[in-house]
């Protein structure tokens, strides 16, 4: 993998130091799907198990040379695709090669105790891993709360004697927010500039206002004493709510007053 052969078309991958221009036929994987499939392996044991099971082979009698060859092809493909390759995959490759080389050596020392150990251990690990893999599938098929079955949640009688609700300090709320933001930060796709709170406030006011009446003129949303800044905030709030598909803005004719109303469910929504 350290040298790249200068070819007219770049090789798909380097296998055993040789450029590979086409996917081996016995991989049975359309190239588009390759990356996805490679990413779905849960580790070297999973990959090895896949190679074995794909050919309906018995774990207890694995054709080592062939499986090792296929395993190495996958490893090199993964490296060619620059997939992050865990060290475990390489350790397994080394182990397979070692077992293979021992098998190829003249067996003039039949009491060598190391050799059967390596094989038996690997096979034992494969069996054990397959068992857990199936157990995980069985676990996932159990009826799960919130996915298959649902908790009941109904209102208790009124006037229920109850203890006073716990007190909460504003700092508790702030701390909670800080924690949740800190967590969310690890999963952010991109950064967005924080909007001023007053616009959020205005959005809520407008939404609440529209719960009571069908539609409102844009001008009626403005308050004189807020001045220019108030107009800007209100406009931004309306635009933001329109962008979020919460509001419709209607103008009967050019220069007519803008009417703001709650979004009506469209035909599209019903189809979905």
Partner 1 sequence: MSTVSKSFNHVTTPLLKQVIEAALLASGETLTIEQLQALYSDEQRPHRTDVNAALAALRTDYANRSIELIAVAGGYRIQIRQEFAPFIAQLWEEKPVRYSRALLETLALIAYRQPITRSDIEAVRGVTVTTQMIKTLMERDWIHVVGQRETPGRPSLYATTKTFLEYFGLSSLDALPPLPQLSEPLANNPPVFIDETDPNL
Residues 250-269 that bind partner 1 (CB under 8 A): 262-266, 269
Q: Which two tokens stand for residue 183?
A: 């967590």
Degrees, nearest 5: CA angle 245-248-252: 155
Part of the chain binding partner 1 (CB under 8 A), chosen from 4-12, 13-21, 173-181, 214-222: 173-181
**Cα 40 → chain centroid:** 12
Among 6, 25, 111, 184, binds partner 1 (CB under 8 A): 184
* Residues 20-79 interacting with partner 1 (rule: CB under 8 A): 40, 42-46, 58-67, 69
How many residues interact with partner 1 (rule CB under 8 A)?
119
Quick check: 6 binds partner 1 (CB under 8 A)? no
The Cα–Cα gap between 217 and 202 comes to 15
Among 25, 111, 170, 224, binds partner 1 (CB under 8 A): 170
In the complex, least distance from residue 257 CB atom to partner 1, rounded to whole angstroms: 22
Nearest residue (CB) to partner 1, 6 versus 272: 272
**Cα 247 → chain centroid:** 32
Nearest residue (CB) to partner 1, 178 versus 217: 178
The Cα–Cα gap between 199 and 205 comes to 10
The Cα–Cα gap between 97 and 103 comes to 10
CB atoms near residue 206 (< 10 Å):
20
* Residues 102-141 interacting with partner 1 (rule: CB under 8 A): 103-104, 116, 119-120, 123-125, 127-141
Query: 95 Cβ partners below 8 Å, 6+ apart?
Result: 118, 122
Quick check: 158 binds partner 1 (CB under 8 A)? yes
* Residues 90-109 interacting with partner 1 (rule: CB under 8 A): 92, 99-100, 103-104
Site string for partner 1, 199-238 (x = CB under 8 A): -xx-xx--xx-xx---------------------------
Of 114, 38, 42, 39, the closest CA to residue 70 belongs to: 38
């Amino acid at each position: 993998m350290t040298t790249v052969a200068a070819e007219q078309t770049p090789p798909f991958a380097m296998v055993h130091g040789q450029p590979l221009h086409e996917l081996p036929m016995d991989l049975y994987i359309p190239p588009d799907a390759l990356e996805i499939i490679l990413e779905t392996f849960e580790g070297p044991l999973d990959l090895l198990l896949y190679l074995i099971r794909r050919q309906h082979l018995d774990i207890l009698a694995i054709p080592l040379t062939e499986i090792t060859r296929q395993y190495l092809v996958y490893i090199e493909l993964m490296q060619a695709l620059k997939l992050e390759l865990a060290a475990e995959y390489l350790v397994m490759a080394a182990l397979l090669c070692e077992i293979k080389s021992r098998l190829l050596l003249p067996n003039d020392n039949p009491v060598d105790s190391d050799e059967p150990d390596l094989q038996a251990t690997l096979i034992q690990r494969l069996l054990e891993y397959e068992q857990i893999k199936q157990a995980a599938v069985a676990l996932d098929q159990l009826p799960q709360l919130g996915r298959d079955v649902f908790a009941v949640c109904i209102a208790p009688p009124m006037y229920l004697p109850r203890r006073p609700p716990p007190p909460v300090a504003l700092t508790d709320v702030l701390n909670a927010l800080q924690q949740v933001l800190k967590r969310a930060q690890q999963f952010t796709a991109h950064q967005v500039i924080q909007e001023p709170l007053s616009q959020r406030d205005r959005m809520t006011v407008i939404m609440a206002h529209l719960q009571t009446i069908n539609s409102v003129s844009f001008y009626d949303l403005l308050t004189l004493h807020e001045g220019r800044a108030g107009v800007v905030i209100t406009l931004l709030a309306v635009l933001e709510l329109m962008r979020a598909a919460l509001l419709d803005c209607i103008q009967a004719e050019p220069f007519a007053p803008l009417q703001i109303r709650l979004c009506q469910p469209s035909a599209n929504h019903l189809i979905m």
